[in-house]
Structure 1
Amino acid sequence: MLSAAALTVGVDVGGTSVRAGVVDADGAVLDTARAPTPRAEAALEATVARVIGELAGRHPVEAAGLALAGFITPDRRGVRFAPHLSWRDAPVADRIAARTGLPVVVEHDANAAALAELHFGAAAGAPPPSTTVFVALGTGIGAALLIDGVLFRGAHGVAPELGHLRVVPGGRPCPCGKAGCWERYCSGTALATTAVEMIAREPGLSPALRRLVVDDPGRITGRRVAAAARDGDPLACAAVADLARWLGEGLALVADVFDPELVVIGGGVAASAPLFLDDAREHYASRLTGAGRRPLARIRTAQLGEDAAVVGAARLAREAG
């Protein structure tokens, strides 16, 4: 592990942008850099190295961590598959280290965010023994499992893929190749899909959202549906209620498997948690096996927002350095 005074860089490598930050030992982000995400593999690696180098030119950083959505090798050196990036069975850590001259570690973005929340956010201070599940609601669902403060990655480094639990056999198709996955009913994408389906059934219920669909169905986004729900739009409120129900259903399944003491809800959709979290808690409590005769997990929203993956990746770099 690096010294307490060392600075590290965390990089959130997303499908549209690469966000990097210099992070100190207390989890504070001191400086940032950003660039669009290139499609080609070599250009992607050059971009990641460039944003790290930009920050290293302004601060005495000693290591870097990368966070991304994908299958990471157990040694956290390589990327087996990343659906929104060009890496396939690539030794990413070694390549970026060669370009930057810094030690580099790679981690799943949900794992990185969960680690950040453990040390600096919503899961801080949980005494062992403890089991914490982190659920990131965004385009899909990312998830992480912390057992006594240690990330659980499974035998091959890909656990836990909670977003692809099948909750509706033969349901909505999922990019993973299955149908009816939890994230198809409980995510920002799911919120938009539900709204579009409701508009098709009851077009007069939300004239404002219906106009968007007529012009271009792609203009209906989870963010716009949430905004409409905050304004009291009845159809948007119904779509959010549906998301709350599926969040509760899924969390009950997760609790039956892991029996967590704490569930942390993060990701972009968590910004709208006041619209749905209380209802989701009620659905979770009613659907849990042995409901009323066993302790319920505490369900909290994440505290670090979009910085979570950056902070967590930087923390991992500190621990691995």
Structure 2
Amino acid sequence: MQAIGIDIGGTKVAGAIVDEDGGIVRSSRRPTPARDGDALVDVVAEMIAELSGGEHAVVGVAAAGFIDAAQSNVYYTPNIDWRNEPLREKLEARTGASVVIDNDANAAGWAEFRFGSGQLVSDMVMLTIGTGVGGAIVAGDRLFRGGFGAGAEIGHLRLVPDGLPCGCGQYGCFEQYGSGRALQRYANEIADQGGIGLRLNAAREAGGLDGKVIGDLILARDPGALAALRRLGHAIGTASASLAAVLDPQRFVIGGGVAAAGELLLEPVREAFLEHLPARGYHPEPDFVIAEFVNDAGVVGAADLARIHLAERAR
């Protein structure tokens, strides 16, 4: 059975028809009218109509933020003015499709579990290292959403007591130490110190230390950029050790732009994980791998979750 997946991002809405093996049959892209929630509903409804060709469709929609346990309403999303938005009801009324809503990190994690780096395990944690830190938890072959549907907000695990302020209103969240934004902060701090930070400083003066510049320096094995990456990896590994104590996953899958560093990132992640793992030497150790999906994880995961949801409702 083919299904449609829609992934609502900060700058674009991506949609695709996805087959049962996670393959993209046909895709579509449109700009995100992020400041106009009603216009965004229009865009998603139009995309569903375009991809379905007027036929009844099974649709999964992935969006950032808190989604209720019924996979129907968006409690809150940070980049769109949706607050308690009945998104499923609106889209079904507009399109006649069978729609389910899910968190975008959940959708991406599910794609990895079903078709990517998470295959062949039953318990997995996905960490998406982007501007912030997204996450997904699969336990016993089931996606974990929590009692209210707003679970697996891994980026807001408290990592440093009374640490840096976070956009969620708290202090010391993992997101402030293990994200792409944190990597930029580390790189700037190393650039300020001179020494191994000389190339970082030169790049900053030439145009700024954005993610691409730092990434290029990492791949060029610049010592300052590698030091910044090691600090990032240490934060990711430290948080992962706490997650392992609670969830006991067989595998951690690392995705997002920073994951392009591959083993250069995973090495310090593993080191910090073992350093902080409770009962090290007696606690089973999960493996750490890089995500396989790059751009299509959200649409693939959303479509597959919608397909599964429909099948469970039909029982």
TM-score by length of 2: 0.92
Contact 2:67–2:101 (Cα < 8 Å) also in 1: yes
Contact 2:155–2:173 (Cα < 8 Å) also in 1: yes
Query: Residue 178 of structure 2 aligns to a residue in which SS?
Result: coil
Structure 2 residue 277 is the aligned partner of structure 1 residue 308: no
In structure 1, the partner of 2:48 is 52
Fraction of identical pairs, as percent? 40
Contact 2:190–2:197 (Cα < 8 Å) also in 1: no
Cα distance, 1:171 vs structure 2: 2.2
Query: Are the structure 2 counterparts of residues 61 and 222 from structure 1 closer, same or farther at C-alpha, using a change threshold of 3 Å?
Result: farther
Contact 2:203–2:209 (Cα < 8 Å) also in 1: yes
Residue 22 (structure 1) aligned to one of 17, 24, 31: 17
What is the CA–CA distance in structure 1 between the aligned matches of 2:106 and 2:200, rounded to whole Å? 35
Residue 298 (structure 1) aligned to one of 281, 287, 306: 287
What is the CA–CA distance in structure 2 between the aligned matches of 1:43 and 1:169, rounded to whole Å? 41
Cα distance, 1:239 vs structure 2: 0.3
Query: Are the structure 2 counterparts of residues 61 and 190 from structure 1 closer, same or farther at C-alpha, using a change threshold of 3 Å?
Result: farther
Contact 1:268–1:306 (Cα < 8 Å) also in 2: no
What is the CA–CA distance in structure 1 between the aligned matches of 2:47 and 2:265, rounded to whole Å? 37
What is the CA–CA distance in structure 2 between the aligned matches of 1:205 and 1:125, rounded to whole Å? 42
Alignment of 1:196-215 (within 5 A): 196-200=188-192, 202-203=193-194, 205-214=196-205
Cα distance, 1:214 vs structure 2: 4.2
What is the CA–CA distance in structure 2 between the aligned matches of 1:284 and 1:252, rounded to whole Å? 5
Unaligned 5+ runs, structure 2: 311-315
Residue 106 (structure 1) aligned to one of 97, 101, 105: 101
In structure 1, the partner of 2:133 is 141
Residue 179 (structure 2) aligned to one of 162, 167, 187: 187
In structure 1, the partner of 2:216 is 227
What is the CA–CA distance in structure 2 between the aligned matches of 1:187 and 1:52, rounded to whole Å? 33
Residue type of the alignment partner of 1:158: A
Residue type of the alignment partner of 1:92: L
Residue 274 (structure 1) aligned to one of 253, 263, 270: 263
What is the CA–CA distance in structure 2 between the aligned matches of 1:274 and 1:185, rounded to whole Å? 19
Residue 149 (structure 2) aligned to one of 147, 154, 157: 157
What is the CA–CA distance in structure 2 between the aligned matches of 1:123 and 1:149, rounded to whole Å? 11
Query: Residue 154 of structure 1 aligns to a residue in which SS?
Result: coil
What is the CA–CA distance in structure 1 between the aligned matches of 2:48 and 2:200, rounded to whole Å? 41
User: Once superposed, which parts of structure 1, at least 4 consecutive aligned residues long, lie more than 6 Å away?
Assistant: none
Q: Could you report, residue by residue, the CA deviation over 1:48-95 in whole angstroms, capped at 9, with x for unpaired residues?
A: 1222222223x9562111111100010000100001122110000111
Contact 1:267–1:306 (Cα < 8 Å) also in 2: no
Cα distance, 1:173 vs structure 2: 2.0
In structure 1, the partner of 2:313 is none
Residue 41 (structure 1) aligned to one of 29, 37, 42: 37
What is the CA–CA distance in structure 1 between the aligned matches of 2:209 and 2:100, rounded to whole Å? 37
Query: Residue 228 of structure 1 aligns to a residue in which SS?
Result: helix
Query: Residue 185 of structure 1 aligns to a residue in which SS?
Result: helix
Contact 1:8–1:61 (Cα < 8 Å) also in 2: no
Residue type of the alignment partner of 1:242: R
Unaligned 5+ runs, structure 1: 1-5
Contact 2:203–2:213 (Cα < 8 Å) also in 1: no
Contact 1:114–1:312 (Cα < 8 Å) also in 2: yes
In structure 2, the partner of 1:88 is 83
In structure 2, the partner of 1:244 is 233
**Superposition RMSD in Å:** 1.8
Query: Are the structure 2 counterparts of residues 61 and 277 from structure 1 closer, same or farther at C-alpha, using a change threshold of 3 Å?
Result: farther
Cα distance, 1:104 vs structure 2: 0.9
Residue 248 (structure 2) aligned to one of 246, 259, 269: 259
What is the CA–CA distance in structure 2 between the aligned matches of 1:43 and 1:193, rounded to whole Å? 35
What is the CA–CA distance in structure 1 between the aligned matches of 2:177 and 2:136, rounded to whole Å? 19
Cα distance, 1:311 vs structure 2: 0.5
TM-score by length of 1: 0.91
Contact 2:56–2:96 (Cα < 8 Å) also in 1: no
Q: Could you report, residue by residue, the CA deviation over 1:140-197 in whole angstroms, capped at 9, with x for unpaired residues?
A: 1111111111111111111121111121223222111112211111111111111112
What is the CA–CA distance in structure 2 between the aligned matches of 1:165 and 1:275, rounded to whole Å? 24
